[in-house]
Amino acid sequence: KQEVTQIPAALSVPEGENLVLNCSFTDSAIYNLQWFRQDPGKGLTSLLLIQSSQREQTSGRLNASLDKSSGRSTLYIAASQPGDSATYLCAVPPGSSNTGKLIFGQGTTLQVKP
């Protein structure tokens, strides 16, 4: 059974710092991995999607990497800003097929202080 763990659960950093959020999953035979952002009281916004054949994806100040063999992904945020404050969730399918189902981690709540 696929399980997803995110560490740390919460993180507080001063503005301008570079930071790394971690995600691990137990079944490495995944189809892809997605990182989402969730603002308080809001739905989820897709940030990056990495396919199983890829090692990383970049969007602006965000870079997500994927190491399937070790069951890990990291989300790197460069030059953090107060507007980056949110909960970040990673999610993977339960197996190697593209069924659409996603298993989510508990999320990392990030606070960037001005």
Partner 1 sequence: EAGVVQSPRYKIIEKKQPVAFWCNPISGHNTLYWYRQNLGQGPELLIRYENEEAVDDSQLPKDRFSAERLKGVDSTLKIQPAELGDSAVYLCASSSLGQTITYNEQFFGPGTRLTVL
24-43 binders of partner 1 (CB under 8 A): 31-32, 34, 36, 41-43
Residues 95-114 that bind partner 1 (CB under 8 A): 98-102, 104-107
Would you call 50 exposed, middle or buried from its count of C-beta atoms within 10 A (0-12, 13-18, 19+)? buried
Q: Are 37 and 47 contacting, i.e. CB atoms less than 8 angstroms apart?
A: yes
> 29 or 49: whose CB is closer to partner 1?
49
User: What is the distance between the alpha carbons of residues 8 and 1, in angstroms, rounded to a whole number?
Assistant: 22
The least CB distance from residue 73 to partner 1, in Å, is 14
* Options 12-20, 64-72, 74-82, 93-101: segment touching partner 1 (CB under 8 A): 93-101
CA-CA distance, 33 to 35, in Å (whole number)?
7
| Number of other residues whose CB lies within 10 A of the CB of residue 92 | 29
Q: What is the binding site for partner 1 (CB under 8 A)? A: 4, 31-32, 34, 36, 41-46, 49, 51, 89, 91, 98-102, 104-107
